[in-house]
Amino acid sequence: MTFRAPVRDLAFALKTVGHPELVKRAFPDLDEDTVQAVLEAAGAFADNELAPLNRVGDQQGAKYANGAVTAAPGFAAAYKAFAEQGWNSLAAEPEFGGQGLPKAMELAVFEMTHAANMAFGLCPMLTQAAIEALTLHGTERQKTLVLPKLVSGEWTGAMVLTEPQAGTDLGALTARAEPDGEGGYRLYGQKIFITWGDHDATDNIIHLVLARTPEAPPGVKGISLFLTSKYELKDDGSLGGRNDFRPGSIEHKLGIHGSPTCVMLYEGAKAELVGELGQGLAHMFVMMNAARLQVGVQGVAIAERAFQQALAFSLERKQGRAVWSSENPAPIWGHPDVRRMLMLSKAKIEAARGICLTTGVLADLARLAETEEERAAAKARQELLTPIAKAWSTDIGVEVASTGVQVHGGMGFIEETGAAQHYRDARIAPIYEGTNGVQAADLVGRKVRSNGGETMRGLCAEMALTAQVLSDAEGLAPVGRRLAAGVAALDQATEWLLSVDNAAALAASVPYLKLAGDVIGGWILGRQALAAAGSDDPWMQSKGALARLYAAQVLSGAPGLSEGMAEGWSELEQVTAEALAG
């Protein structure tokens, strides 16, 4: 099936999310024509260059041999074109060669990239995260020699955290950074699950590595961040000999076969400190949070790709008599449950897209809003939404990809149709960059409970105002009623979280995140329905239909989620593994 980048959906979403009046002040030269031109050009590249490589990437994948990784067929040439056309530099600072566009624009372009070819998109995605980390914490040498090459896409970046004995628990990592006596360091150790840690698509790869110095204390306070280059960096910016690190192998994975996931071996690699000693985890969180938002966008993207294929199949596949078709046999689109699955999938995609783009808008406002008060408020809401954007959106990605297989029926279970690839590719997103359980723990612990719930209360108050407007809008009163009930349920759940101990809050964290995502998603759809109200364009009219369906099928469950959060957690502590095993 031919992929079509969702340019119109993205353009509409960018107009209806966030704070358009504040964004206009931050980016006064950005007009709708420019946004449309960027999206159309990016969409054409995704359609014509990346989507055709998605299947070959899955079937043939990246290869490892003789201590080196070769990208999947066609990927290296596509990456070169991606960089040459400027897609790598959209939101980077102009002083480093970037275009200075809004973060939300970058996310929109990367959604199309990931939807066309998720395995490919992982390479420039992590480069974006490295750019953000070095922009904030890099030394002058690193900003001068490394940042422009990453921004241009001439080099790529890799995030190097995980070790075999220390997955999410970074405090347990053992990689060593030993001073070399010349102001630099030598890195020793093994890292695993390093996405695009080695490849042949660029001349050089920059690794940002967490490691310990000899005198560092145990735990997270002993971790520092280091930059090491595949080829040694000379003071004039030219490349020297091969550095002392290499891939030991690549993983054989369920999906994203075109993305090389490397075991990396550091055998005395020359490195330099990024930021301050002992602050490595704080510095790396800049990169991690950037990647988490991008992974949320991946969830939206793979859902969009799976939905498009399922919708096309439903219009082509003829089977039985249908309620809404006079043909016999009729396209399965005419069967109510197939149409329900597809419309609900579309609604959830638009909700997740809106959450991710809103978070991107807030990231810009946290830096560029005119007043300190506006910047602080944007920063607080951005931090609140980041774990929701990552976790809720990637759960939606898996759900919609699974629904896509279901729409195909038995054909979906057959690899040749391609629906199974989307499901396999989607499954990694809830796992990496911090599992969705970790995101939920972060949401309740650091983002809600740490400031007494004030940021969430403020968001709920804003959503309640939208519910009132919806209740008075023609044809949207049911959405307003359901959204108001959902906001009340989220408010209730937030107050409960603030009243219980840490164990109970953590036990309820995943249902709480789902509740928050469900309600915020309904708010996004309600705002889109209001923006489309009164139009006689069938595409615009569908926004109201999607909001009403989502309200009936998803928002209606919010009160039950909230009530259930307060019950049953004592059983988690009391029931033993032996009892469950029988």
Structure tokens at 409: 């029926």
C-alpha span between 28 and 527 (Å, rounded): 24
Q: Residues 316, 317, 320, CA angle at the centre, nearest 5°? A: 135
216-223: long-range contacts (C-beta < 8 A, 24 or more apart)? 216/277, 216/278, 217/278, 218/171, 219/171, 220/170, 220/171, 220/281, 221/278, 222/278, 223/170, 223/171, 223/173, 223/278, 223/280, 223/281
- d(CA 255, CA 504) in angstroms, rounded, equals 35
Backbone phi, then psi, for 169, in 5-degree steps? -80, 80
C-alpha gyration radius of the chain: 24
Question: Quick check: 246 and 265 in contact, CB under 8 A?
Answer: yes
523 Cβ contact partners less than 8 Å away, ≥ 6 residues apart? 463, 466, 467, 483, 487
Catalytic residues: 433
Beta-bridge mates of residue 228: 207
Strands 204-212 and 223-229: antiparallel
Contact 298, 396 (CB under 8 A): no
CB atoms < 10 A from the CB of 143, how many? 16
